[in-house]
Amino acid sequence: MSFELNGVFYQTDKEGYLENPENWNKEVAEYMASTVDTELTPEHWQVIEILRDYYQEYGYPPQVKVIVKTMQKRFGTEKGNYKYFYQLFPKGPYLQAYKIAGVSNPCKWM
């Protein structure tokens, strides 16, 4: 499976995750968000940035607990809690946040 943005083709797996996370960019994030009924706000981007940072540094996306903890450190407890996270991504980290951030879902068989 694949989709096209501005003349570039991006491969996805059968569940719609970006095949190669290195090909991710902001346009891809906007497109992926549209496939999971999400309109990206600056608050969404703060979470996506954490996901991308972790992925770039460790080659692996952070677990939801780690995302929430990092949010807490960066933006305080008002944004560093589960309720806030799930308000932004009601479908959950794997179905929504990971997909938009273009990282593969290591938990899809769980």
Residues that bind other proteins (CB under 8 A): 54, 58-60, 62-63, 65-66, 69, 106-107, 109-110
Instruction: Tell me the closest approach of the beta carbon of residue 23 to other proteins, in angstroms.
Output: 20
The residue (of 6 and 110) whose beta carbon lies closer to other proteins is: 110
Instruction: Tell me the closest approach of the beta carbon of residue 72 to other proteins, in angstroms.
Output: 10
The amino acid occupying position 103 is V
The residue (of 12 and 69) whose beta carbon lies closer to other proteins is: 69
Q: Name the nearest CA neighbour of 101 among 47, 63, 58.
A: 47
- Under 8 Å between Cβ of 80 and 73: yes
The residue (of 20 and 34) whose beta carbon lies closer to other proteins is: 20
Q: Which residues pair with 9 in a beta bridge?
A: 4
Q: How far apart are CA 69 and CA 20, in angstroms?
A: 27
